[in-house]
Structure 1
């Protein structure tokens, strides 16, 4: 990549930048996948041809999917939609929730309140598979989902992630609730519209959830009117 004129980013070594000013191409590398973004077809075609000469690769054209993220674009309106419907369907099948009834929220208000007060039922699972592997795998899959296209489940997964060791029946029921919420919202999209020219940031904190506890913090960063973190 350096030979072709790309410079690796100091923060993310898998992010490469080519060119300067307005003629910039961004390349994201993940194992054997390369995702390119640039201001014109001319520049992208030039980079693509250079990569084909350097590596044994195929140009797949405009991307439809990347790392379990479905990509839909409207070039005329400059709108990009991201969703993970296929990934959610796989998760529902994998963890046995493919026939569950949808819920309209990822977490019950009473659960949020009780965990803020550090109240927790201590009736452990009797089956080893729940206590160890299955709970962690389910929460891990939901963590990936929350960090990519579904920030609406971030708080719920934050709570569930605190109980990876020795989860109780109550925690597993809360995991089920998140999956039930996904069942009803699996076709939701994260939409980027390029509606403004600004960058804005918001932050808030709970100032300790309960006595002797740490603070839960939240932040929202928007670029060009679109949420990016």
Structure 2
């Protein structure tokens, strides 16, 4: 992250998160504002339109930023806002994953795993090339950010990264076929919630 940007934001009263230095926050309640910085992209979030406008002006005056408007796409995440809430999904990421591994035109599976099927490290043949398996698991782990419904299956298969067998790869392919039937599924955060006061 650019130290000039961090320093300038710190002088404006922002505090860098200890768990992730790309997150900076300021204020609380209705005056709360958060910034996430990734390379040369900055995402702003706040309940206050005034606070967002104020920080945009500061950033433009200091760094000549370009305002791209409301967030629609960030790091493979697609964001759609409505009066009802925010929908977060990784549709393009999912479709690219299916295309890259030849599953774009496959028959969809109704579940991400075969129910009651226990995976073992001994019941199949070792893969000649474990790199593909490892890459697929890594990509699927990233997809669990918006697809918690595949998290259990991915977690189970990630246990075999050291020595995957052909049956493990078949199980990963089932996850891909499941995703084929539900590429635009994701998370919805309602604008009103009984959990938030």
Q: Same fold (TM over 0.5)?
A: yes
1:81 is matched with: 87
Q: 1:50 to 1:166 in 2, by over 3 A?
A: same
d(CA) in 1 for partners of 2:107 and 2:69?
39
In the aligned structure 2, how far is the partner of 1:83 from the partner of 1:44? 24
Given that 2:91 and 2:184 are in contact with CA atoms closer than 8 Å, whether structure 1 keeps it comes out as yes
1:182 to 159, 162, 179: 179
1:41 aligns with 2:39: no
> Corresponding residue for 1:140?
138
Match of 2:3 in 1: none
Q: State the match for 1:68 in structure 2.
A: 76
- Taking structure 2 as the reference length, the TM-score comes to 0.89
Question: How far apart, CA to CA, are the structure 1 residues paired with 2:141 and 2:121?
Answer: 23
Secondary structure in 1 matching 2:13: coil
Contact 1:15 1:27 in 2 (8 A): yes
Gaps of 5+ in 2: 1-8
CA distance in 1, matches of 2:18, 2:194: 25
Residue 102 of structure 1: aligned partner:
108
Distance (whole Å) between structure 1 residues aligned to residue 194 and residue 58 of structure 2: 32
The alpha carbon displacement at 1:108 in A equals 0.4
Alpha-carbon distance between aligned partners in 1 of 2:22 and 2:112, rounded to the nearest angstrom: 33
Is the 2:109–2:181 Cα contact (8 Å) retained in structure 1? yes
**Does the aligned pair in 1 maintain the 2:137–2:154 contact within 8 Å?**
yes
Answer yes or no: is the 8 Å Cα contact 2:72–2:79 preserved in 1.
Answer: yes
**CA displacement 1:145-189 (0-9 Å, x = unmatched):** 01x100000010101111112211100000000000000011213
Which SS does the other structure have where 1:87 is aligned?
helix
Per-residue deviation, residues 78-129 of structure 1 (Å, max 9, x unmatched) = x000111110010001112112110111000132xx23xx57413112x33x
Structure showing the higher strand proportion among its residues: 1
Q: TM-score, normalised by structure 1?
A: 0.77
Give the secondary structure class of the aligned counterpart of 1:27: strand
User: Secondary structure at 2:156's aligned position in 1?
Assistant: helix
Instruction: State the shift of 1:192 in Å.
Output: 0.5
Is the CA contact 2:79–2:86 (under 8 Å) kept in the aligned structure 1?
yes
Asked if 2 retains the 8 angstrom alpha-carbon contact of 1:26 and 1:37, the reply is yes
Deviation string, structure 1 residues 185-221 (Cα, Å, up to 9, x no partner): 11213100144343xxxxxxxxxxxxxxxxxxxxxxx
